[in-house]
Amino acid sequence: MTLGKSLEDYLETILILKIKKGMVRSIDVADYMGFSKPRVSHAVKQLKTQGFLLMDNNGQLLLTDSRQAMAEKIYERHCFFTKYLTEMGVDPKLAESDACKLEHVISDECFQKLKESTRIGSEKEEV
């Protein structure tokens, strides 16, 4: 199932915040992404409806098991492209911005071949 860049960014953000903080609420996502609470609430509702997220009684957002893997895949690509571009001499801010675009459009096959042809592998940067 293809989500589109926007909802994939939400999944990735929820994963990053889970790694950093241990738990994630909608307000954490809004703060991290610089979005309004209503905008995030709308996206969370979409992700819940599509079976990507669960919300517990405390308002904590939880990725479903199968979607955890999807978020990890997106995050792996983001880390790879950020590091790859930075090592090529691209300004870190530009590398970060372009990595966020590339992570959504490259096919699994091309990404795998690119990883195999570099020494970067799937290292994840500190978030």
pLDDT in tens, 26-69: 999 999 999 999 999 999 999 999 989 999 999 999 999 888 98
Tally Cβ neighbours within 10 Å of residue 26: 20
Q: What pLDDT, on a 0 to 100 scale, did the predictor assign at position 122?
A: 47
The listed CATH number (1.10.1060, 1.10.60, 1.10.10, 2.40.50) that belongs to domain 69-116 = 1.10.60
Q: 3-state DSSP helix/strand/coil percent for the chain, to nearest 5?
A: 65, 5, 30
> What is the secondary structure of 51-96 as a DSSP string?
TSEEE-TT-BEEE-HHHHHHHHHHHHHHHHHHHHHHHTT--HHHHH
Overall average pLDDT of the 67-96 stretch: 93
Higher-pLDDT residue of 2 and 72 is 72
By the 8 A CB rule, do 32 and 43 touch? Answer: no
CA 120 to each of CA 15, 20, 30, 76: distance values in angstroms, whole numbers, following the listed order:
21, 23, 31, 11
Residue recorded with tokens 């996502």: 29
Task: Write down the domain spans for the chain.
Answer: 5-66, 69-116
Share of the chain above pLDDT 90, in %: 75
pLDDT averaged over every residue in the chain: 89
Q: Domain 5-66, what fold? A: Arc Repressor Mutant, subunit A (1.10.10)
By the 8 A CB rule, do 32 and 16 touch? Answer: yes
